[in-house]
């Protein structure tokens, strides 16, 4: 069924003359009501799933690979994702296909095999962050910042499910990052925007659009970029993106960046069949990449990449009073048997919680902790009660957890029962902590007692809907 809402005339008029904008085809695709559904798989979890990516195909109707990413797939239809335990295991992320083009910008402008410090500056709910984490090396760091507190919690949930260790979730204003001058090698700014690129998928958003909101978004984008800019190192890559078609938020921002900062615009290689349109900004000829849904199998999107040409070295002055403390030898010894043997981690203590962070990133952890509010770092391991660890949910979902941890495998119906935080019945499980698995991927913890099983799934993450498909 087609969309009832008409596209704003002021938007259509403002796009006349934009390369790649064909009004008739653009209006027709919005009226068609056609929906494109896509997911990006988590390579770390696919590797651990019972039958690799085949496990995913039992619940996801894959159609074809998205050509500009090695990790994304179109689906033939939109399943009811909530009732797929694999989603809750962090096996994949439901994400719009065009926005996965960030992978091309990363691969074409950076050597991803080396150690990089990466900032995702507008990170919630975590589509780009989970993708970036799958692209960077294990020795690299991802700082995912979200300024709005309520949105930072969903960001944290999605990154915990993704299961990687080399990440911090911060909840700061972009201006706070000026204290980390020249710290980052890569900065991804997927800016808040007027959102016209999503009108096909969310026609109800059409009513909120106005030329005035485009102006306000453009000014806010400039403020965000100016606030974050000092934290990018000399030679670092800046990736800017929006889901708006408006020149004020796209080409004009490129001109503004090139006029006000020492940046080189970076062209990206495209394949013709992708249908992506290369544009250049009117004043400074900065390269941008436009996605129109009548030409691309995806929603409206815009992306541009730059290389910074100024700034000095980052100087780290350790604070006399570090905000984080290393765990004691005894605490570390209690935790290590839960982790994969040989994992190169340091164990830290934040209040009563123990957390694991890559040993190679110790300096980075201390620097960020000195200057920003860290909401989450690495993998939360749990708390000690006496000598015994009470494992945290994040440990269950982490790829750091020892593979031979006691586990019970559930079929789909029982896994959903577990995810609703209801009673689960397990046959022959030994008493103590056990992982609940589906297709060999952990969903969370249970504690098996002689006469019952306690379900430790986090209450605020549980499935509230009834049904199973």
Residues in touch with ligand SAM (CB under 6 A)? 122-128, 146-148, 151, 174, 190, 192, 220, 224
Query: Which element (helix H / strand E) includes 449?
Result: none
Give the residue closest to ligand SAM by C-beta. Answer: 127
Smallest separation, CB 124 to ligand SAM (Å):
4
How crowded is residue 36: how many other Cβ atoms within 10 Å of its Cβ?
18
Smallest separation, CB 127 to ligand SAM (Å):
3
Smallest separation, CB 104 to ligand SAM (Å):
15
Nearer Cβ to ligand SAM, position 55 or 153?
Answer: 153
H helical segments located in 136-232: 149-162, 211-228
How crowded is residue 374: how many other Cβ atoms within 10 Å of its Cβ?
20
| Strand intervals (E) in 55-198 | 62-65, 72-75, 92-94, 117-120, 141-145, 167-170, 184-190
Order of strands, sheet of 62-65, starting from the edge strand that comes earlier in the sequence:
62-65, 72-75, 37-41, 92-94
How crowded is residue 97: how many other Cβ atoms within 10 Å of its Cβ?
24
Nearer Cβ to ligand SAM, position 101 or 433?
Answer: 101
Nearer Cβ to ligand SAM, position 100 or 279?
Answer: 100
> Which sign, positive or negative, has the C-alpha torsion 344, 165, 187, 43?
positive
| Closest C-alpha to 394, from 157, 215, 214 | 157
Nearer Cβ to ligand SAM, position 94 or 426?
Answer: 94
Nearer Cβ to ligand SAM, position 39 or 400?
Answer: 39
Q: Distance (Å, rounded) from C-alpha 231 to C-alpha 314? A: 9
Q: Buried b vs exposed e over 286-322: b needs ≥16 C-beta within 10 Å?
A: bbbbbbbbbbbbbbbbbbbbbbbeebeeeeeeeeeee
Smallest separation, CB 174 to ligand SAM (Å):
5
Cβ atoms of 381 and 356 within 8 Å: the answer is yes
How many CA atoms are closer than 13 Å to the CA of 387, on its beta-carbon side?
3
Nearer Cβ to ligand SAM, position 20 or 195?
Answer: 195
Q: Distance (Å, rounded) from C-alpha 444 to C-alpha 446? A: 7
Nearer Cβ to ligand SAM, position 125 or 382?
Answer: 125
Smallest separation, CB 168 to ligand SAM (Å):
16
Smallest separation, CB 349 to ligand SAM (Å):
30
Query: Which element (helix H / strand E) includes 421?
Result: none
Nearer Cβ to ligand SAM, position 99 or 380?
Answer: 99
Q: Chain-centre distance of CA 194, in angstroms?
A: 21
Nearer Cβ to ligand SAM, position 171 or 405?
Answer: 171
Smallest separation, CB 365 to ligand SAM (Å):
23
Smallest separation, CB 130 to ligand SAM (Å):
8
What is the DSSP-derived secondary structure letter of residue 147? S
Smallest separation, CB 237 to ligand SAM (Å):
16
Smallest separation, CB 121 to ligand SAM (Å):
6
Nearer Cβ to ligand SAM, position 40 or 308?
Answer: 40
């Amino acid at each position: 069924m087609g969309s009832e809402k008409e596209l704003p005339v002021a938007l259509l008029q403002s796009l006349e003359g934009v390369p790649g904008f064909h009004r008739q085809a653009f209006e027709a695709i919005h009226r068609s009501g056609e929906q494109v559904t896509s997911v990006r798989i988590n390579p770390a979890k696919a590797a651990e799933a019972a039958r690799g990516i085949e496990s995913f195909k039992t619940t996801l109707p894959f159609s074809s690979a998205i050509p500009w990413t090695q990790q994304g797939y179109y689906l033939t239809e939109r399943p009811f994702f909530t009732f797929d335990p694999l989603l809750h295991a962090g096996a994949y992320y439901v994400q719009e296909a065009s926005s996965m083009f960030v992978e091309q910008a990363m691969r074409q402008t950076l050597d991803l095999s080396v150690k990089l410090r990466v900032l995702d500056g507008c990170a919630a709910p975590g589509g780009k962050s989970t993708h970036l984490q799958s692209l960077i090396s294990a020795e690299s760091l991802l700082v995912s910042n979200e300024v709005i507190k309520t949105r930072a919690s969903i960001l944290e949930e999605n990154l915990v499910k993704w299961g990687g260790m080399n990440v911090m979730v911060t909840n700061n204003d972009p201006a706070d990052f000026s204290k980390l001058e020249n710290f980052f090698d890569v900065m991804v700014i997927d800016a808040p925007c007027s959102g016209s690129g999503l009108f096909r998928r969310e026609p109800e958003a059409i009513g909120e659009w106005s030329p005035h909101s485009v102006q306000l978004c453009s000014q806010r984008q400039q403020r965000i970029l100016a606030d974050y800019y000092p934290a990018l190192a000399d030679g670092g890559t800046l990736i800017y993106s929006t889901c708006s078609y408006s020149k004020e938020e796209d080409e004009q921002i490129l001109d503004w960046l090139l006029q006000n900062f020492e940046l080189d615009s970076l062209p990206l290689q495209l394949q013709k069949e992708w249908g992506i349109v290369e544009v250049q900004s009117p004043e400074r000829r900065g390269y941008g990449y436009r996605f129109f849904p009548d030409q691309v199998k995806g929603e409206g999107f815009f992306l541009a990449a730059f290389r910074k040409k100024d700034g000095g070295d980052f100087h780290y002055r350790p604070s006399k009073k570090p905000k984080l403390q290393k765990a004691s030898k005894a605490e570390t010894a209690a935790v290590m048997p839960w982790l994969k043997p040989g994992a190169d981690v340091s164990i830290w203590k934040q209040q009563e919680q123990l957390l694991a962070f890559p040993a190679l990133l110790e300096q980075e952890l201390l620097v960020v902790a000195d200057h920003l509010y860290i909401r989450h770092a690495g993998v939360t391991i749990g708390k000690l009660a006496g000598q015994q660890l009470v494992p945290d949910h994040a440990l269950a979902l982490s790829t750091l957890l020892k593979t031979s941890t006691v586990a019970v495998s559930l079929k789909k119906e029982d896994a959903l029962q577990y995810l609703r935080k209801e009673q689960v019945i397990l046959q022959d499980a030994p008493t103590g902590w056990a992982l609940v698995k589906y297709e060999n991927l952990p969903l969370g913890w249970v504690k098996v007692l002689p006469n019952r099983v306690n379900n430790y799934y986090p209450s605020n993450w549980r499935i509230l809907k009834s049904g199973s498909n």
